Structures are given as structure tokens and as C-alpha cells.
């Protein structure tokens, strides 16, 4: 049995996240306190006691989910993945647990990524929407037919693609998707147009930070969002990690490639159960799927 460990992205946060780990596992408490020091504020106070609204701020959400996922993985007694992947932000978690980048450096990159993405959201209004019930090709064609910037941002599973871009263009695409027979076209409550060209300004500072960060050969292959392919090459990891900011998350392709490479056991490590549901749909229920949000 080959084990694939996967890590969730933005949207999986919840009030009280990681508190049980902090309260019951000394190693988890030590890592979370180290994170408070690195970030320069007590993010644990927001994670444990903050409201859902406070946790939605990108600059809080991203490091909070990263911390919950990575701290949990580092405290697991039987953590021996054959391969890893993460959805969007979760790719940073996958790289940290596979030892391609240190916990401290990965957290700093996540902090910069979140701050720069937040700036983009404030400067350039944009949004996202989930298109349910069309093929990938239909959704791609609809995006190309719209005026303004709108592209597929997350290929979550067959029949579910999240689009991202300028608000008017996304709204136009939603209308066309319904005309084309989509079961649903759901506007998402997000701060901006993630994984679209509207995030381009964030590439500059994140690129500088990635270039200055040490990356090593991971202990197992990491399947990256941009290509959906495995790599252990630090130079490739760097390149793909930056490209991810403005490129689609190829999650459907990633899971299918992991299965083709022998994965028959998937564990989602971190808050929420979103990836478990997606993997179940992608695999047709033909793999074992479990979740871990605490020990």
C-alpha cells in the first residue's frame, strides 16, 4: 500500500483549530509558540479564540491552516508518506513535512504569500465562483468567451471547476455556465481572485523570498499544483511554487497521477474534510481515504 498524504488549503479554517494539539502535546505547543515568535503576534490566540470572521482574513487564514497541518504531521508517530501534495496553500505544508524546506522558512514564505495576496485583493477587486456540472472543456471555453479576465483556477474534481478573475467577468461566466447547463454556478465568499493573473503583483516579493530560501531534496516526491506531476528537484520546486500564485490548481490531475503511481491510501492532514470528499469523487471510491485533524 502506497501512502499519499495531502494537505488542505484556504477555506478549511475553523474557530478553535489546533487548540487540542496545543493543550495536549508538548511538541505541538513548542512549535506553535515558535510560530508566534516568527510571525511577531500570537496567531494562536486567533486560532483558538477568534471568530470565524477574524479567521477569514487571508493574512491569518493561510499561516493558521499551514500551522495546524504541519504541526499535526510533525507530531504523528507513524508519518511515512510515499508521496505528498497540497491544495493551493497546502502545497507549502506538503513541502515542509517532506523536508524540502524547514518549518521556519516555510512559515515565513506563507506569511509573505498571505500578505502579498491580501494587498492584491485590496488593490484589484476580484472574485471566484464554483461551476458545478460542466466538463473542464466547457468551463474553459466559457472563460475564453468572456470579456475581461476570468480563468479556471481550481480543477477540484470532474464536474467541479472554480473560476477566478475580475468580478464582472466572473459574473458573466456564471451566467453563461447556467445557460450551458451547469447544475450550479456559486459565487464564493473570498477576498479576491486567487490563482489568476490578478495576483501577478504578489509574484515580485514572493519570488524574492523563494529565491532567498534554502530548498532541499524532499524525502518523497511532491506533486505540485502547476504541473500535477511529482518532483524532488529543488529548482523545479522553486519555479512551480512561484508559478502557482497565478496558475490553476490541477487537483483532479494530481490525484489521478498519484493513483497511477500506486497510491491506494490517502490521508488528509489538517483542518476540515474538503480533500477527502474531492478524492472520493475523483477516485470513484476506489482508494482508502482517512482524515486527521488531531491526534
Active-site positions? 88, 195
Q: Are 250 and 85 in contact (CB under 8 A)?
A: no
What are the grid coordinates assigned to 112, written together?
509573505
Return the number of other C-beta atoms located less than 10 Å from residue 83's C-beta. 24
Q: Are 137 and 144 in contact (CB under 8 A)?
A: no
Amino acid at each position: 500500500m502506497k501512502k499519499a498524504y495531502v494537505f488542505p488549503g484556504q477555506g478549511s479554517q475553523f474557530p478553535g483549530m489546533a487548540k487540542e494539539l496545543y493543550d495536549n502535546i508538548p511538541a505541538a505547543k513548542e512549535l506553535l509558540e515558535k510560530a508566534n515568535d516568527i510571525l511577531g503576534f500570537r496567531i494562536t490566540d486567533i486560532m483558538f479564540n477568534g471568530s470565524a470572521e477574524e479567521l477569514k482574513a487571508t493574512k491569518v487564514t493561510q499561516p493558521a491552516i499551514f500551522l495546524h497541518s504541519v504541526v499535526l504531521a510533525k507530531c504523528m508517530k507513524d508519518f511515512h508518506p510515499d508521496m505528498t501534495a497540497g491544495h493551493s496553500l497546502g502545497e507549502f505544508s506538503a513541502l515542509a513535512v517532506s523536508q524540502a524546506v524547514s518549518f521556519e522558512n516555510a512559515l515565513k514564505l506563507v506569511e509573505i504569500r498571505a500578505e502579498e495576496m491580501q494587498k492584491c485583493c485590496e488593490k484589484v477587486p476580484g472574485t471566484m465562483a464554483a461551476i458545478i456540472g460542466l466538463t473542464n472543456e466547457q468551463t474553459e471555453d466559457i472563460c475564453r468567451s468572456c470579456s475581461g479576465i476570468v480563468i479556471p483556477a481550481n480543477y477540484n474534481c470532474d464536474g467541479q471547476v472554480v473560476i477566478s478573475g475580475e468580478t464582472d467577468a466572473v459574473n458573466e461566466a456564471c451566467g453563461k455556465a447556467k445557460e450551458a447547463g451547469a447544475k450550479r454556478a456559486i459565487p464564493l465568499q473570498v477576498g479576491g481572485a486567487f490563482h489568476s493573473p490578478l495576483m501577478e503583483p504578489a509574484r515580485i516579493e514572493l519570488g524574492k523570498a523563494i529565491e532567498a530560501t534554502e530548498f532541499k531534496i524532499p524525502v518523497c516526491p511532491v506533486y505540485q499544483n502547476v504541473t500535477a506531476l511529482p518532483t524532488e528537484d529543488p529548482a523545479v520546486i522553486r519555479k512551480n511554487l512561484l508559478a502557482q500564485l497565478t496558475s490553476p490548481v490541477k487537483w483532479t490531475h494530481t490525484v489521478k497521477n498519484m493513483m497511477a503511481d500506486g497510491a491506494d491510501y490517502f490521508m488528509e492532514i489538517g483542518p476540515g474534510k474538503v480533500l477527502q470528499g474531492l478524492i472520493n469523487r475523483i477516485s470513484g471510491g476506489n482508494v482508502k481515504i482517512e482524515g486527521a485533524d488531531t491526534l
